[in-house]
C-alpha cells in the first residue's frame, strides 16, 4: 500500500473539543504555524478525565466513554449489533467534517485517530463481545478482536471513516488488550509480576476458544494450566518473571500454540481492516507478524515517551529493525513538561529520532500541553528545517 506520509512528516495528536473550543481558525492556524504537516484527530475515544491548560471553556473535562466524534452515513451500521455512541458534540454538527474543512484551509492533513477495542461503554452493553480471563471474568473495558460482533462494528467504522477526506486512519487498541488499563478506581493490591499480569490479560472467551479448537489447540488444557499457574503466583509460589513471549512459554509450554493462534487472529484481522478501509491504515504499535500484514497497512507508529534523547534513539533503532523499509515508521514523542522539561530536551529528542531512522513524528497532545510546550515543538522543527 502507498505510504501515508512524505519524508520527515510531522503531526500532533488532537482532541476535537479543544479545537472547537478555541475556534478552528485559531487552533488549526496555531498548529500550522508550528510547522506541522497534519493533525491526528480523535474520532473514536475512551473514558477519562483530562486537564486542558489552554482550553478557553474548561480546564478539566470528563470524557464521554466510547463515543465517536463524527456523523457516519446511516447505511454503514445497518444490521450491525453494536451501534456507535455519538458524542454530544455531534448533535448540531459533524466535528470531523468541520475540522477537515478547517484543516484544508490551513494546509494541514487530517488523520483519524481511532480507538478500536478499548471501549467500556460498548463492553457494558455487549458483554458477549468482551475479553474474558482464564477464570471466566469479563473485561468490560476491552472488546475481543476475535468476536464477530466486535469485528462487524469496527469494520463498519472503517467504511464510515473512509467517506471523509483523510490522509490515513490511525488505529489504536486494534488487537488484544491486557489486564490493567486504568479502569475507574482500579484496585489490584496483590503483587503481580509481569508474567502473571500478562497471563491475566490473555483472553479465553468463546470466540478465542473456537479459534483455538479450529487450529487443533486444546483450549481447556491451556485455560486450566493458566489458572493453576496464576493461583500459585497469587500465593507467592512462583518466581518473578518477565513477560516476553519466551518467558511465557518457558513458564507454561502449553501456551505456545495458543499464542500462535492469537497471532493468527490479529494477522487476519488487520488484513480485514485494510480491506474495509479505502484510506491507508496506520497502526499504533506493530502487529505481531508485520511481514504478513505489510500490504494492508502503510505506516506504523511506535511511541517513545522518554525523558532522555538516548532512550528515544534506542527505541527508534529497535523499531526500525522490526518495521520494513516499505512502511513509514513514525515515532510518538511526549512534548508535555513532565517528560520534555525544556525546549533543549525536546529538540534533542527530535534530533535523536530523525538520526535513528524515523520517517515521521507525532507529538502528544495539543490540548494536554501548555502553550510553552507548543512553542518548543516549533523550535525543534525549525531547527531541522
- What is the C-alpha separation between 111 and 367, in angstroms, rounded? 16
Beta strands in 211-316 (DSSP E): 281-284, 299-303
The total number of residues shown for the chain amounts to 385
- What is the C-alpha separation between 43 and 16, in angstroms, rounded? 8
Structure confidence at residue 7 (pLDDT): 60
- What is the C-alpha separation between 326 and 45, in angstroms, rounded? 30
This prediction has a pTM of 0.95
Identify the DSSP state of 63.
P
CB-based contacts of 120, cutoff 8 Å, min separation 6: 46, 47, 65, 66, 140, 141, 183
- What is the C-alpha separation between 365 and 327, in angstroms, rounded? 24
Over range 238-256, report the average pLDDT. 97
Proportion of the chain above pLDDT 90, given as a percent: 94
Structure confidence at residue 2 (pLDDT): 47
Average pLDDT of the chain, as a whole number: 95
3-state secondary structure of 35: coil
According to the per-residue pLDDT averaged within each range, which of 190-194, 270-274, 320-324 is highest? 270-274
User: How crowded is residue 232: how many other Cβ atoms within 10 Å of its Cβ?
Assistant: 12
Over range 114-129, report the average pLDDT. 98
Residue ranges of alpha helices (H) inside 24-181 are 24-33, 95-105, 120-125, 148-161
Query: Are 158 and 273 a contacting pair, CB within 8 Å?
Result: yes
Residue ranges of alpha helices (H) inside 131-255 are 148-161, 194-201, 206-214, 219-234, 245-251
- What is the C-alpha separation between 225 and 238, in angstroms, rounded? 14
Identify the DSSP state of 118.
B
Query: Are 93 and 68 a contacting pair, CB within 8 Å?
Result: no
Structure confidence at residue 189 (pLDDT): 85
Over range 292-315, report the average pLDDT. 97
Structure confidence at residue 184 (pLDDT): 75
Cα–chain center distance at 122: 17
Per-residue pLDDT tens over the stretch 27-75? 999 999 999 999 999 999 999 999 999 999 999 999 999 999 999 998 9
Over range 276-292, report the average pLDDT. 97
**pLDDT-derived band of residue 21, with 50, 70 and 90 as boundaries?**
very high
The angle that helices 343-355 and 309-322 make with each other, rounded to 10 degrees, is: 30
3-state secondary structure of 283: strand
Q: For residue 216, is pLDDT > 60?
A: yes
Grid coordinates representing 17?
473539543
Q: For residue 130, is pLDDT > 60?
A: yes
Grid coordinates representing 201?
490479560
- What is the C-alpha separation between 372 and 366, in angstroms, rounded? 11
Identify the DSSP state of 96.
H
Over range 178-202, report the average pLDDT. 88
**pLDDT-derived band of residue 1, with 50, 70 and 90 as boundaries?**
very low
Structure confidence at residue 18 (pLDDT): 98
Structure confidence at residue 182 (pLDDT): 64
- What is the C-alpha separation between 254 and 248, in angstroms, rounded? 10
Grid coordinates representing 31?
498548529
- What domains are there in the chain, each with its CATH number? 9-186+266-297 (3.20.20.80)
- What is the C-alpha separation between 52 and 373, in angstroms, rounded? 13
User: How crowded is residue 142: how many other Cβ atoms within 10 Å of its Cβ?
Assistant: 28
Amino acid at each position: 500500500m502507498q505510504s501515508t506520509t512524505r519524508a520527515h512528516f510531522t503531526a500532533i495528536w488532537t482532541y476535537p473539543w479543544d479545537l472547537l473550543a478555541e475556534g478552528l481558525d485559531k487552533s488549526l492556524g496555531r498548529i500550522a504555524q508550528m510547522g506541522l504537516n497534519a493533525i491526528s484527530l480523535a474520532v473514536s475515544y475512551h473514558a477519562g478525565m483530562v486537564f486542558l491548560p489552554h482550553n478557553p471553556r474548561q480546564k478539566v473535562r470528563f470524557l464521554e466513554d466510547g463515543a465517536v466524534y463524527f456523523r457516519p452515513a446511516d447505511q454503514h451500521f445497518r444490521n450491525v449489533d453494536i451501534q456507535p455512541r455519538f458524542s454530544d458534540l455531534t448533535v448540531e454538527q459533524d466535528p470531523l467534517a468541520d475540522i477537515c474543512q478547517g484543516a484544508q484551509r490551513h494546509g494541514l492533513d487530517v488523520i483519524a485517530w481511532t480507538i478500536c477495542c478499548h471501549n467500556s461503554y460498548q463492553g457494558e452493553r455487549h458483554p458477549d463481545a468482551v475479553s474474558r480471563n482464564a477464570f471466566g471474568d469479563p473485561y468490560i473495558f476491552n472488546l475481543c478482536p476475535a468476536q464477530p460482533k466486535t469485528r462487524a462494528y469496527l469494520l463498519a467504522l472503517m467504511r464510515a471513516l473512509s467517506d471523509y477526506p483523510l490522509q490515513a486512519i490511525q488505529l489504536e487498541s486494534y488487537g488484544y488488550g491486557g489486564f490493567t488499563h486504568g479502569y475507574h478506581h482500579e484496585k489490584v493490591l496483590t503483587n503481580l509480576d509481569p508474567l502473571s499480569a500478562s497471563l491475566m490479560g490473555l483472553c479465553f472467551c468463546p470466540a478465542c476458544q473456537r479459534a483455538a479448537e479450529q487450529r487443533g489447540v486444546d483450549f481447556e488444557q491451556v485455560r486450566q494450566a493458566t489458572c493453576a499457574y496464576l493461583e500459585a503466583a497469587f500465593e507467592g509460589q512462583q518466581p518473578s518473571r518477565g513477560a516476553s513471549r519466551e518467558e511465557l512459554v518457558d513458564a507454561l509450554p502449553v501456551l505456545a500454540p495458543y499464542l500462535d493462534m492469537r497471532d493468527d487472529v490479529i494477522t487476519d484481522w488487520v488484513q480485514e481492516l485494510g480491506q474495509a478501509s479505502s484510506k491507508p491504515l496506520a497502526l499504533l504499535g506493530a502487529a505481531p507478524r508485520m511481514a504478513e500484514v505489510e500490504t494492508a497497512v502503510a505506516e506504523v507508529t511506535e511511541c517513545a515517551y522518554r525523558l532522555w534523547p538516548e532512550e528515544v534513539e534506542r527505541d527508534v533503532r529497535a523499531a526500525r529493525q522490526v518495521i520494513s523499509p516499505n512502511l513509514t515508521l513514525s515515532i510518538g514523542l511526549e512534548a508535555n513538561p513532565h517528560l520534555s522539561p525544556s525546549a533543549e530536551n525536546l529538540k534533542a529528542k527530535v534530533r535523536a529520532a530523525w538520526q535513528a531512522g524515523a520517517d515521521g513524528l507525532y507529538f502528544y497532545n495539543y490540548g494536554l500541553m501548555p502553550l510553552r510546550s507548543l512553542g518548543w515543538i516549533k523550535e525543534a522543527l525549525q531547527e531541522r528545517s
